[in-house]
Structure 1
Amino acid sequence: MSATAGQAADGVRSQADRFGIEPGMVVMEMGYDDDVDEELRDALTDRCGELVDEDTDEVVDAVLVWYREDDGDLFELLVDALGPLADNGVIWLLTPKAGRPGHVEPSDISESAPSAGLQQTSTINAGKDWSAARLVLGRGSRGKK
Structure 2
Amino acid sequence: MALMVRTVNKAKWDMSFNPANADAITLCLKTKNNTLSFWVVESPEKVDDGVLAIASANQNLDAIDIVVVDSAEFEARDIKIIESVGRTACLDLASSHRDLAELNVRHLEGVSEVIASKIKDNKVVRYNMSSLRNLIEIAIDAKRINLELLHEGIKKKLSKQV
Please give the TM-score of this superposition, normalised by the length of structure 2. 0.29
More helix by share: 2
Larger radius of gyration: 2
Please give the TM-score of this superposition, normalised by the length of structure 1. 0.32
More strand by share: 1
